[in-house]
Each structure stands twice: as C-alpha cells, then as structure tokens.
A and B are shown apart, each in its own frame.
Chain A
Amino acid sequence: MTFSVLLQSIISGMLVGGVYALIGIGLTIIFGVMRVINFAHGDIMMVGMYLTFFLFTLLGIDPFVSVLITMPLMFLFGALMQKVFINRVLSALPQNQILLTIGLGLIMSNSAMLAFTSDYKILTTSYSSSSYSLGGISISQPLLISFLITCAITVGLYWFLMRTDTGQAIRATAQDREAAQLMGINVKWMSILSFGIGSAMAGTAGALIAPTYYIFPQVGSAFTLKAFVITVLGGMGSIIGATLGGIIIGLVESVSAVTISSEWKDVVVFAIFLLVLLIKPSGLMGKSRL
C-alpha cells in the first residue's frame, strides 16, 4: 500500500469524522445538562434530513444554505419536545426516561413512514460526486464543505458556552442542577435551551450528510448507535470529547478499511472503544462536566 492511499484515507476519515462529531456533540449536550440519554437522537437527525430534502426539491434551496433554515427549525422542534415531554420525566427513573425517548423516536420514524413512505429519497446536487484533486489526493467537495460548517458551528457553540452568560448558566445547570436553581438560574428554561441546541446539532448533521447519503424513515437508528459510541468514547457530557470521539471514529473506520479490510473496520472501532473504556472508564475527556 502506498503512502498516498494512506493519506487519502486519513483525509476522508477526518472529514467524515467531523460530521460524526456534530451528531455526538448534540447528544452530549443533552446528556450533560439533563442527564437524559436521548435515544431519539438519530430520529431527530432524520427529521433534519427530510427537512433538507424538501427544502431542496420543493424550494430549490441548496442543502448547505438550507442549514440556516434547518438549524433554527430543529432548535424549535427540540425545545418543544423538551417542554412538552422530557421536562415531565426529569426526576423520573432513568429507565422511564429512556422509554420515553425511545417512544418518541419510534413515533417520529413511523410518522415519517406514513407521510413519506419507506422509499429511499436521494438528494442529487451538482456536486454530489465532485471532488478537488490535490497532488493525487482527491477531497470530496460536499464533505469538505460539511467539515468546514461543522468546525464553524463547534467553535461558535464552544464560545457560546464558555463566554456568554446564558452559556455559563447552562454549564452551571449541568454541574449541579439544584445549586444552579438556588443561584437564580431558571433550570427548566436551560433544559429547553440545551435540548433545542442538541436537536439543532443533530438536524444540522442530517442536513450535511443528506447530499452524499440517502434518506429513509429508519435512517436514524444507525446514527443513534454511532452517536453513543462517540459520546461515550469522548466522555459523556464533554463537547471537546465528542468532537475528538467523532474524528477518532471517522479516522479509525477509514484507516482500518485500507490497512486491514473494510469488513473488519467495525471490529477495530469497537475494540478501540472497549480499550479506552478499560483504561479510562469515564471516556477520553470525561469528567461528566460540560
């Protein structure tokens, strides 16, 4: 195997990992603030994908531009879900919370099936199979754009959480819900906000994947699993951890596919995952803090 093949796989692995990271970040924020494990995460992403698909086919809005519409809409969608459903079970047993999110996910995917049938929708843009060539290495155009958008969003989100008052309030809620409440923080509102952010991230990830992947009502489940691996690997609740986790998973998948075989890549991913958990059970960046 030549060096250029390896380099190619590293680059595409990084780019794919960037989008994985975005899915993981959404999940990790929701867990960090509410301690709720969101099993509907992949299905929220599916909603984002359909939104992108219809914005493109009906209104002709480019998928990457439509992120500007998808993101706020998905934020509202998530906030509503939190306000109507999740807020009611915040003090319930964890298994009840899990049942609720699984149920919400099932309702979403089955409603999508009723409304749009189980047909695969394929979003074809003029750049769906275009690439830039750089000294023998080809860089996928849609993937590169998604990666850049992901970077911008991650940096923006990090700045928001670290530097703004609201961000600080969210972090305080994540650290100690009751203490935050005693300090005059409206923790219910913070929960709504963070679930909104989490689902906006998932929806955006859906929008970014749509031009190179395909869309169907059950598309979410595969990504829910991936999101879990990413967040647990990075440390539940850590944004940097989720970013790192996403890129690591992307890289490992891609590099092990060329060095070993594509059949074994998932084995390698899960072996590394278990190894990390054995050595550092809380995950790479895990302190259970945002």
Chain B
Amino acid sequence: MIRKIAASALVMALALPGISQAARVKIGFVNSITGPEAPIGENLTNGVTLALEDLKKKGIEVDLIKEDDTGKPEKSLAAFEKLATRDNVAGVVGPYTSACSSAVASQADKYKVPLLIPAAAKEEITRKGYKYVFRLNAPADVYSSVLMDAVQTIDKPKTIAFIYESTDFGTSTVKTAKEYAKKLGIQEVADEKYQKGAPDFRSTLTKIKSKNPDLVFMVSYVVDAITLMRQSKEIGLSPKAFLGGGAGFTTAQFLAQKEISNMVMSSTQWTDDVSWPGAADFAKRYTAKFKKEPTYHAACAYEAMVIMAETASKNGGDRDKTRNGLKAGHWNGVMGEVKFADYAGFTNQNNHQMLVQQVQNGKYETVFPPKFATKKALYPFKWK
C-alpha cells in the first residue's frame, strides 16, 4: 500500500515537474491525541493522514506539525502559541473539543494565524467576529434543530427531556435545543446536567422516566452515551424517540452495543452514504487503511486539512493571503459545499447541512433530510 502510494506520488512528481504551487507548506494540527477524548481524536488524526496522502497526489507537500492537547484548553493554547511563534506555520487545523477551540480561537487574531476548526460545536467560537477563525462544521444549534425537524416530519411530540454533560459542548447544544423546542411548541419537562464520566445515572433517569417525556435528548462524548443508554434500558425509560446530539452517539463503539443502540437517532455532520462528492470513496479508503469505520470527525478533519493546505500552498504559505483565500474560496468535497460566510451573527462559518442518522439492524442509516436519506426513520422507539 505504502509502496503504491509512494510510486504514484513519484509518477505524479515526474509527470508534473513544473507545478509552481508545489511548494511545501507548514501546517499545524492541534488535536486530542491522548486523554479522554482520544477515541474521537483518533478519527481526526486518521482523517488528516488520508488528507496528506491525497494532497501529495495533487502535488502539495505538507509539513505537518502535530500537537496533542490531551483535551485540556490550557494545553491547546500552549500548543497553538508554539505553532504560531516557534514553528511559523501557515495555518492551523483543530483543535477538537469545543472548550479547546474556544480557548484557541481567542488567540488566532492576536497572532494573525488562520485557524480552521473542523468539528467543535460551541456557537460562540464563530460569533465573536474573529477575522482569522474559520469553522467547517455546523455549530451547536443545528445539532438539535435538525433532530427535532426530523421528528416533526413523523409525529407531533408534546414533551421533551434533556440530559447532557456539563461541558461547553453539552450546555451550548442544549441551550439552543431548548429555544428551538419552545418555537415548535414542545414542552420541556426535565433539564438534567451531569458530570462527565459519572458511573451512575440511574436516579436521574428515573426522575426523567416519572415525567414520561415523548422525546429524550442527550448530549455526551464517547462512552457516557453507552452508560446512559444501558441504564435507561435498566430502569425502563422508553420515550417515543431517543435523540443523541452527535459525538458519542455516532461512534463505532456505540454502534457495537447492539442491545441498546438500536433505533437511537443522532445528528451528524457526515455519513458514509451521503451523496457528497467522494464521501463514499473516502469511507472505503479509510476503512481499508485503518481497519475502522470513520466517524463524521474524520471527514471533517480530512476536508479541513485539504482546504487549509490547498489555500496555504496557493498563497505561498503567507498567513494573511491564506486568510483571505479561505474567506473568498469555495469548495465541494466529502463534506458537501463549503463556503465560509457571515450570517445570523456568525463570522467565517460554513453553513453546513447536518444529517440525522439512526441505528437500524446494527448499521447507521441516514434518515433525514429526505434529499440524502437512505432509509425511512423507525418510530416510535422500542427496546430490542
């Protein structure tokens, strides 16, 4: 495999000796490589690895400088400052989590380094008018609105319960979810924040069960999603739909828990069966290379790296020109159409179309919006 790539790269290099933009570009990449977010961080790393291979084929050599923030904002900040001052990168892709991204975003304008955030959801990141901060993925409000829109096409639910982790990602997603629920006339019956990584949610879930909500909306990273669903089953919580706000509900590990993951709906930035150019091919190559199925984070990181490297290389690694290139550019790849626009209070935000996927027979199926759906949503929810 490696030899093949090397060979094809060599052929490319020989065939296209005169590419003027083939200059090497130095790009920084901040990610949660270790720490509690590492399982998702791995997807981002792999996505970037694939991006580098593809960029090489296009004649763009990237000197990638990887920094691990272990999921902690202060480390993320230190990593970004190092990239900006010592490594002199043309631009930075990352970090992963909302907390890290919002810390780093505040520094991008200070150092005038273009920052492209691939997958962090907190809305404020692109709401503060930062000139050098760009975001590829849809912000937190879409995580919940797309799910409720999906349910609205099937049923008119009356009540909703929220259970979510007390992090930037959890609180910002639920804040907008509440506003949207109010707009749709869905009554909120429970609002339960929890400490990430807690082993016991039984009493909280029992409380929610006693309110008998039509919808249960959960926001969690990685494995709390599994603990929550296991204990929901244990105490017999059975709403008309379990809605998961991305992250932990979209991983292969969650999918593997067949007993509890079936029929759970989740919002996502990307699925492998969506009709965006190269999405299916990306999934196929990713699975072949890493022996794991990609999550949406992988696709986000892939596209972010491609966009950043192409723009930086076109502008000879100049930071200001790269920034202007990002602002003016337009792409259409594995994440669909990408354009960094100013709208509804956002700056440099890609107005990305989120999707809803549902676990059906041990597979993630895209069920909303109808334009991209591969299967019809199963409703109401039943325990297997």
Q: Which residues of A contact B (CB under 8 A)?
A: 1-2, 4-5, 8-9, 12-13, 16, 113, 117-120, 122, 124, 128-131, 133, 138, 140, 209, 212-214, 216, 218, 222, 250, 253-255, 257-258, 261-263, 265-266
Within 226-264 of B, Cβ neighbours of A (below 8 Å) are at: 226-227, 229-231, 233-236, 253, 256-257, 259-260
B260-A262 in contact (CB<8A): no
- Please give me the residue from chain B that is nearest to A140 by CB atom: B234
- Please give me the residue from chain A that is nearest to B253 by CB atom: A122
B204-A222 in contact (CB<8A): no
B202-A216 in contact (CB<8A): no
B195 at the interface (CB under 8 A from A): yes
A120-B200 in contact (CB<8A): no
Instruction: From A117, A124, A213, A258, give the contact of B204 (CB < 8 A).
Output: A258
Minimum CB–CB distance from B218 to chain A (whole Å) comes to 13
Give the number of residue pairs across the A-B interface with Cβ within 8 Å.
110
Q: Bound complex: CA of A124 vs CA of B253, how far in Å?
A: 11
User: Contacts of B233 on A, CB cut-off 8 Å?
Assistant: 129
Known: A120-B222, A130-B234, A131-B235. A1 touches B207 (CB 8 A): yes
Interface-lining segment among B33-41, B56-64, B133-141, B305-313: B33-41
User: Contacts of A262 on B, CB cut-off 8 Å?
Assistant: 163, 192-195, 201, 203-204
A254-B202 in contact (CB<8A): yes
Known: A119-B39, A128-B230, A218-B36. A8 touches B223 (CB 8 A): no
- Please give me the residue from chain B that is nearest to A263 by CB atom: B193
A257-B234 in contact (CB<8A): no
User: Contacts of A265 on B, CB cut-off 8 Å?
Assistant: 195
B210-A5 in contact (CB<8A): yes
Q: Bound complex: CA of A120 vs CA of B36, how far in Å?
A: 8
User: Contacts of A212 on B, CB cut-off 8 Å?
Assistant: 199, 227, 230
Which of A2, A124, A255 counts the most chain B CB atoms within 10 A? A124
A258-B203 in contact (CB<8A): yes
User: Contacts of B35 on A, CB cut-off 8 Å?
Assistant: 118, 218
User: Contacts of A133 on B, CB cut-off 8 Å?
Assistant: 236
Given contacts A122-B226, A263-B166, 11 further A-B contacts (CB under 8 A): A5-B207, A8-B203, A9-B202, A129-B259, A130-B234, A258-B203, A258-B204, A261-B193, A262-B193, A262-B195, A266-B195
A9-B206 in contact (CB<8A): yes
- Please give me the residue from chain A that is nearest to B201 by CB atom: A262
B206-A120 in contact (CB<8A): no
Minimum CB–CB distance from B1 to chain A (whole Å) comes to 22
User: Contacts of A255 on B, CB cut-off 8 Å?
Assistant: 203
User: Contacts of A16 on B, CB cut-off 8 Å?
Assistant: 199-200, 202
Q: Bound complex: CA of A39 vs CA of B193, how far in Å?
A: 29
B38-A119 in contact (CB<8A): yes
Known: A12-B202, A118-B39, A262-B192. A213 touches B227 (CB 8 A): yes
B197 at the interface (CB under 8 A from A): yes
Q: Bound complex: CA of A218 vs CA of B229, how far in Å?
A: 23
User: Contacts of B253 on A, CB cut-off 8 Å?
Assistant: 120, 122
B203-A13 in contact (CB<8A): yes
Within 96-123 of B, Cβ neighbours of A (below 8 Å) are at: none
A253-B200 in contact (CB<8A): yes
Q: List 23 A-B contacts (CB under 8 A).
A: A1-B210, A2-B210, A5-B203, A8-B203, A9-B203, A12-B202, A118-B35, A120-B39, A120-B253, A124-B256, A124-B257, A129-B233, A131-B236, A212-B227, A212-B230, A216-B36, A250-B200, A258-B206, A261-B191, A261-B192, A262-B204, A263-B192, A263-B195
